[in-house]
Chains A and B, each alone.
Chain A
């Protein structure tokens, strides 16, 4: 399975970081997101909002990486929230049940309000 890279824009807010992947999040590209989340886990009380509005397609690998990120960040005393307006992704969160317990909102700011471990 050849790994491909996608661009992930990282921006700093006051209390958290925003990751904005640009492109499909699937089994081929998910390594980029996993790496980006991995480097944030190293920080103190790492909080991050992943903005999925520039991700046209996400499969179970992408979802798995996000959920893995939630678990690792919470273990490190931080959290991961998701900013998303795309129906397709929201449906995926609903179907798999992963939306429960994770802050998912249409904007980055609203998503950040739902951080746990505050």
Chain B
């Protein structure tokens, strides 16, 4: 069950509060019942005892007052007798209100009846006889009939008192039992609450602490670099959530670790590629060559190669499809094949054909390489090139007016197909005769495909215009300046390699003199 930690704590606290409220209620109700028992003793049994005593006492007092009157004929004693009769009436009335049990009622009515008989005897026989002067007869009547009635009254009073004593005894017993029960119930409930409290205070936090310890252990292990921690926590609360997130973090770290490893491998690849690509450009009289390469990533698919042999300079520029390691490996294959074949003294067609075969063998059918293979006779200015599916080279030819400005156009010569895909891509060459001051610009498609923020590409029109505009700045800075323009066009976001070689034919006098 999913239950957040907040609700577990709130729930536990709620249960505890409910138990405390229950305990309070039980305590109050138990004390309430004890009080009701006590009230029964004080409100019923004790007043009952007093009433019985008062009734018996008042009859005895009536008897004593009448006797005194008979002996001394004192009027105040007769008045005292009448006063006691009122007292008796009062207490008999109280008695009727207090005694509810059938036995008590019977005894009281017998007592009242006996009392009534005694008062009837006194009022109807004893007092009239005494008033008539027959005191000795009155005394005898009182002695013979009144005394047994008083004795009966005392006996009934005693019985009635016993019933009240029993009530007191029973209620005292009740109080004792009830208070024992109260103590037991309170004890049981208290123990239950304490146990529940312990359960909440010990068991729940213990689980929490155990789960947190698992997490701590796991994070320690992760800290040591062990990223295979299995964190199995099913508490349904935030701790489980934390364990899940930690698991995800672990996978993320693993991925990062792999990436770091890949980065390291990539750096090695980059270093190999740097060594392979960046060869010093040979110095050849009559030609000024400025290479520029800007890789979008650590490794890339763009490459170039320059070689000079006697008066012939060979420049090859290639662009392997795709990006990253795959493209870099293709570049390596193409360059290796090209260099090996050239070293054997083969013709440009044979060299490019060798590169085509090597790439076809080495790569899948989604990959290809575009290439320009250019040879320039530094003596004659005769430029021959093979265009293997590559953007056409650009020619900047100085205008006669000032020698600085230039006209520019793409050298749309014979086109062949990209290498690495067709068995025979075609090897048609194009020949152009260069004049001193001509600059041939070889470049890769990164310039054409640079995209602006709204998705527009730089394209060949912008490239032609930019190169023509930059021509007066000189061979050394054209490529760098162009890169700056393309970067600003793409708002700094270039994700393809940029390679450009500016080949200026000067027609050095050294060759001319030898011609």
* Residues in chain A within 8 A of chain B (CB atoms): 1, 27, 34, 56-57, 59-61, 63-65, 67-68, 71-72, 88, 94-98, 100
Contacts and interface: CB of A to CB of B under 8 A. Distances in A.
Given A68-B364, A68-B365, A98-B389, A61 B457 contact: no
Which are the 3 A-B pairs with shortest beta-carbon distances? A97-B417, A68-B366, A60-B321
B455 A67 contact: no
A114 B188 CA distance: 95
Contact of B321 (A56, A63, A71): A63
A64 B417 contact: no
Contacts of B506: none
Interface residues of B, number: 32
B457 A88 contact: yes
Given A68-B365, A71-B365, A98-B389, 17 more contacts: A1-B324, A27-B323, A34-B366, A60-B321, A60-B322, A60-B368, A64-B321, A64-B322, A64-B367, A67-B365, A67-B366, A67-B368, A68-B364, A68-B367, A95-B415, A97-B389, A98-B421
Nearest to B418: A96
Nearest to B369: A60
B322 A96 contact: no
Nearest to A96: B389
B47 to A, nearest CB: 98
Q: Which residue, A34, A94, A95, A97, has most C-beta atoms of chain B within 10 A?
A: A97
B321 A97 contact: no
Given A56-B455, A60-B445, A95 B389 contact: yes
Given A95-B415, A96-B417, A100-B417, A64 B455 contact: no
Contacts of A27: 322-324
Contacts of A64: 321-322, 366-368
B417 A60 contact: no
Given A1-B324, A64-B322, A88-B457, A97 B365 contact: no
27 contacts: A27-B324, A34-B366, A57-B451, A57-B455, A57-B457, A59-B445, A59-B449, A59-B496, A60-B370, A61-B321, A61-B322, A64-B321, A67-B366, A67-B368, A88-B459, A95-B370, A95-B390, A95-B415, A96-B370, A96-B389, A97-B415, A97-B417, A97-B422, A97-B426, A98-B368, A98-B418, A100-B417
B472 interface: no
